[in-house]
C-alpha cells in the first residue's frame, strides 16, 4: 500500500486529536497508540518504509499481530499517524523573531532536515494532506510569522504550499543518492559509474546536443541546488510584497493573479 491518506479520514482525525470515549469496563490496555506509532517510525527510520508491516511491528512490540488492530483501524491510518508524529516540533523560542523571509527560510531548511532524518517521508506524504496536531501547530506558527507580509489569506497559504512543494522536490534529489546506496550497496560513485557507459553512449548519439554540451559539474554535488531555488522563491515573494508595500492595511486584499 505505502499510501497515506487512504484510511477513514474521520477515524484518523479522532485518533490524531485523541478524541473518542475511553472505555471504563474491560481490562487495561497493555499497549498504546503512541507506542505503536513510535515503533513504526523507528523501524521506518532504520530500515525503510517497506520494512514496516503489521507483523513486523507486532514482533517488535512483543504482541500478537492482530492486537495492533485494537489501537489502529488499519495501516493507512497508521501511516497518517506516523506522518504527524514525525512533524512534531518542540516549541522553539528562536522561531519567534525575525522577518517573514527568515521565517520561510527556516521553514524550508527545517523541512529539508526533516526529510533527511526520515527519508521514508518522501514516499509516504503523498495523496491527501492530513490535518494532525503537529501539522496544524506548525502551520499556526508559520502563518503568524508571515502575516506581516501583507498578503491575502489564500496567498499566505499558497506561499507555504510553495515552499513545502519545493522542499519535497529538492529533498528527493538529495535523498535518492543515499537511498540508492543503502538499498543497492553501491556507493554514489559506483552507482553513477554503473550508469555512465549507457548514458555516455546516449549522449554520443548526437540526439541531445544541448544536454551533451552541459559542463561537467552540472549534476555534481558542488552546487547547492536547494539554497539556490529557495532564494529564488523568496525573491519572487519579495517582489510581490514590495509591490504591495505602498498602500496600507494588512488583510482582506484581493488575490493578485
Partner DNA sequence: TCACTTCAGAGTACGGCGTACCCAGTTTCA
Partner DNA sequence: TGAAACTGGGTACGCCGTACTCTGAAGTGA
Site for DNA in 17-36 (CB under 7 A): 23-31
Q: How many residues bind DNA (CB under 7 A)?
A: 26
Tell me, residue by residue from 47 to 76, as one string, x for binding to a copy of itself by CB under 8 A and - for no binding. Answer: ---x--------------------------
Contact of residue 28 among DNA, a copy of itself, none (CB under 5-8 Å per partner type): DNA
Q: Which does 149 bind (CB under 5 to 8 A by kind): DNA, a copy of itself, none?
A: none
* Partner that binds at residue 168, options a copy of itself, DNA, none, CB closer than 5 to 8 Å by kind: a copy of itself
- Region of 152 (left: φ > 0; alpha: ψ -120 to 50; beta: rest) is beta
For residue 64, give every residue at least 6 positions away whose Cβ sits within 8 Å of its Cβ, in sequence order, or none: 58
CA distances from residue 66 to 21, 55, 223 in whole angstroms, order as listed:
22, 9, 49
Q: Which of 71, 123, 149, 150 binds a copy of itself (CB under 8 A)?
A: 123
Q: How far is the CB of 219 from a copy of itself (least distance, A)?
A: 7
Contact flag: residue 126 with a copy of itself (CB under 8 A): yes
Question: Site residues for DNA, window 212-251 (CB under 7 A)?
Answer: none
The answer to whether residue 235 forms part of the interface with a copy of itself (CB under 8 A) is yes
Q: Which stretches of 7-132 are DSSP H helices?
A: 9-16, 33-47, 54-61, 75-86, 100-117, 121-124
Of residues 53-72, those binding DNA (CB under 7 A): 53-56, 63-67, 69-71
Under the binding rule (CB under 8 A), the answer on residue 90 touching a copy of itself is: no
At residue 140, the 3 state secondary structure works out as helix
Contacts of 133-140 spanning 24+ positions with Cβ under 8 A: 133/16, 133/17, 133/84, 133/88, 134/84, 134/85, 134/86, 134/87, 134/88, 134/89, 135/84, 135/87, 137/88, 137/89, 138/87, 138/89
Only segment of 34-42, 55-63, 110-118, 129-137 that touches a copy of itself (CB under 8 A): 129-137
Structural element, H or E, at residue 234: helix 225-244
The option from DNA, a copy of itself, none interacting with 188 (CB < 5 to 8 A, set by class) reads none
Under the criterion CB under 8 A, does residue 155 sit at the interface with a copy of itself? yes
Residue 139 contacts residue 89 (beta carbons within 8 Å): no
The answer to whether 191 and 181 are in contact (CB under 8 A) is yes
Q: Is residue 113 a contact point for a copy of itself (CB under 8 A)?
A: no
Secondary structure class of 233 (helix, strand, coil): helix
Residue 219, interface with a copy of itself (CB under 8 A)? yes
Binding site for DNA (CB under 7 A): 1, 23-31, 52-56, 63-67, 69-71, 74-76
Amino acid at each position: 500500500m505505502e499510501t497515506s491518506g487512504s484510511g477513514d479520514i474521520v477515524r484518523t482525525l479522532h485518533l490524531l486529536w485523541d478524541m473518542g470515549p475511553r472505555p471504563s469496563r474491560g481490562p487495561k490496555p497493555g499497549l498504546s497508540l503512541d507506542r505503536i506509532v513510535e515503533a513504526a517510525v523507528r523501524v521506518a527510520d532504520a530500515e525503510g518504509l517497506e520494512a514496516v508491516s503489521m507483523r513486523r511491528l507486532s514482533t517488535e512490540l512483543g504482541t500478537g499481530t492482530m492486537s495492533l488492530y485494537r489501537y489502529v483501524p488499519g495501516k493507512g491510518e497508521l501511516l497518517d499517524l506516523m506522518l504527524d508524529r514525525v512533524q512534531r516540533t518542540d516549541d522553539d523560542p528562536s522561531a519567534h523573531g525575525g522577518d517573514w523571509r527568515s521565517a520561510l527560510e527556516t521553514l524550508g531548511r527545517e523541512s529539508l532536515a526533516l526529510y533527511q532524518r526520515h527519508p521514508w517521508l518522501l514516499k509516504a506524504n503523498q495523496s491527501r494532506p492530513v490535518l494532525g496536531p503537529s501539522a496544524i501547530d506548525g502551520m499556526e506558527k508559520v502563518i503568524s510569522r508571515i502575516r506581516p507580509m501583507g498578503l491575502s489569506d489564500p496567498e499566505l497559504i499558497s506561499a507555504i504550499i510553495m515552499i513545502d512543494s519545493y522542499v519535497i522536490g529538492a529533498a528527493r534529489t538529495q535523498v535518492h543518492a543515499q537511498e540508492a546506496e543503502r538499498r543497492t550497496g553501491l556507493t554514489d560513485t559506483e552507482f553513477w559509474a554503473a550508469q555512465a557507459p549507457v548514458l555516455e553512449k546516449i549522449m554520443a548519439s548526437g540526439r541531445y546536443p544541448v544536454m551533451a554540451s552541459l559542463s561537467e559539474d552540472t549534476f555534481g554535488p558542488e552546487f547547492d541546488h536547494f539554497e539556490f531555488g529557495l532564494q529564488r522563491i523568496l525573491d519572487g515573494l519579495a517582489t510581490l510584497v514590495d509591490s504591495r508595500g505602498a498602500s496600507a492595511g494588512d488583510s482582506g486584499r484581493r488575490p493578485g493573479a
